[in-house]
């Protein structure tokens, strides 16, 4: 079966890192590990500025119907200071494809990448299950009296039983599969309506899974524990905004933005795979962008498509590159984005 992948590089370093991920994918296909069809899409700031279009219905339908998964770079460009194209594209795809699970695995793949005192003794290996279609990301809200002293803005934080149940269930399923603790990160002490619902549903689903250890933690205390005792976490399930913040904190525990991949999925229906990091306008065009997060995102895509051997080959190549010092400057190396990508492709093809 051919896996039909749409590649949207997007803005800034997005196209630089997805280019390397595409090379890695093609190298795995060249080894007969998977059958792939890659199609590039031009969406991003440049496309928006020249056509006025963020994502047309026609393009959306092609992405939805003609592809099994999307490999995404990043969006965000200083020429679009309001970021409206980025919201339309990325949040648009997450919402319109109903990709309710944002899975963000955080694995320390080389001990020297850890910023922690416990580096080398405490493994960091947990996954954040971020709710991806509700919370404070719905765009609903009000703005009154703009520019006046009485100006007042609200942003709706949405939690529905259906929305919370399906992400918490997915997190428990993962906890069962891995045999690890499931932790809810919330802020029910200060935001009782929304997170009260989360707590009730989490408790109900925990009761259905007596074999899984589970706990509810306030996100502020949990953030401290993520740094102090990261080894205690297995699956962390949380809301959209809290998951966004925790996943950047988590990325720092495993080597920074260049090491954190993610999968936005609706299992069995569609998936969008992207690094956790953004478009990094400060380093665009310098060859300093670390492509590992994009390559690891491509590995998540392959794994979800059932191409497990191909996925492992990509992950092993990243680990070998780390071990052999084939690294970009953010993690102590001197290789360029393209040099790392070329090395990975050669490794995957069995030439190194």
Quick check: 157 and 197 in contact, CB under 8 A?
no
Question: Where on the chain is the footprint of ligand NAD (CB under 6 A)?
Answer: 13, 17, 74-76, 83, 86, 90, 257-258, 274, 277-283, 289-290, 293, 330
Q: From ligand IPM, Mn ion, ligand NAD, none, which one binds at residue 290 (CB under 5 to 8 Å depending on kind)?
A: ligand NAD
* Residue 253: C-alpha distances to residues 19, 106, 109, 220 (Å): 26, 8, 11, 17
Buried b / exposed e along 321-330 (16+ C-beta atoms within 10 A)? bbeeebbbbb
Helix, coil or strand: residue 298: helix
At its nearest, how many Å lie between ligand IPM and the CB of residue 245? 9
User: How far, in Å, CA of 54 to CA of 85, rounded?
Assistant: 5
Residue 19 as a binder of ligand IPM (CB under 6 A): the answer is no
At its nearest, how many Å lie between ligand IPM and the CB of residue 31? 31
Copy the structure tokens of residue 178. 């891995």
* Residue 142: C-alpha distances to residues 145, 155, 191 (Å): 10, 7, 19
Q: Which residue is nearest to Mn ion (CB)?
A: 244
From residue 228 to residue 257, what is the string marking binding to Mn ion with x (rule CB under 5 A)? ----------------x-------------
Helix, coil or strand: residue 268: coil
Cβ proximity to ligand IPM: between 159 and 322 the closer is: 159
Which of 85-93, 154-162, 230-238, 303-311 is the region at the interface with ligand IPM (rule: CB under 6 A)? 85-93
Q: Clarify whether 352 is annotated catalytic.
A: no
Q: Catalytic residue positions?
A: 137, 187, 220, 244, 248
Interaction site with Mn ion (CB under 5 A): 244
* Chain residues that interact with ligand IPM, rule: CB under 6 A: 86, 90-91, 244, 276, 278
């Amino acid at each position: 079966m051919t896996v039909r992948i749409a590649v949207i590089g997007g803005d800034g370093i997005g196209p630089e890192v997805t280019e390397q991920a595409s090379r890695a994918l093609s190298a795995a296909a060249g080894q007969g590990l998977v059958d792939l069809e890659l199609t590039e899409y031009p969406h991003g700031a440049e496309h928006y500025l020249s056509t006025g279009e963020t994502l047309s219905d026609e393009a959306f339908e092609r992405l939805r119907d003609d592809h099994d998964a999307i490999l995404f770079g990043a969006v965000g460009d200083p020429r679009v200071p309001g970021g409206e194209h980025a919201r339309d594209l990325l949040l648009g795809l997450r919402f319109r494809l109903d990709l309710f699970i944002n899975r963000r695995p955080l694995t320390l793949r080389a001990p020297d990448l850890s910023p922690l005192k416990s580096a080398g003794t405490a493994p960091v290996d947990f996954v954040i299950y971020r709710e991806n279609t509700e919370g404070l990301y719905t765009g609903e809200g009000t703005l009154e009296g703009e520019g006046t002293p009485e100006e007042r803005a609200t942003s709706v934080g949405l939690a529905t039983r259906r929305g919370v149940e399906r992400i918490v269930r997915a997190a428990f399923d993962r906890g069962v599969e891995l045999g690890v603790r499931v932790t809810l990160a919330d802020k029910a002490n200060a935001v009782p309506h929304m997170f009260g619902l989360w707590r009730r549903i989490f408790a109900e689903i925990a009761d259905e899974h007596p074999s899984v250890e589970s706990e509810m933690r306030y996100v502020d205390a949990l953030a401290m524990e993520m740094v102090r005792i990261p080894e205690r976490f297995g699956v962390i399930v949380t809301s959209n905004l809290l998951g966004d913040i925790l996943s950047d904190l988590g990325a720092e525990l495993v080597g920074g933005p260049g090491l954190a991949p993610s999968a936005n999925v609706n299992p069995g229906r569609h998936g969008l795979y992207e690094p956790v990091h953004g478009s990094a306008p400060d380093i665009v065009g310098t060859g300093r962008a670390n492509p590992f997060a994009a390559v690891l995102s491509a590995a998540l895509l392959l794994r979800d498509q059932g191409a497990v051997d191909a996925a492992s080959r990509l992950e092993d190549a990243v680990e070998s590159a780390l071990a052999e010092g084939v690294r970009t400057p953010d993690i102590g190396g001197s290789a360029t984005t393209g040099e790392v990508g070329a090395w990975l492709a050669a490794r995957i093809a069995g030439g190194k």
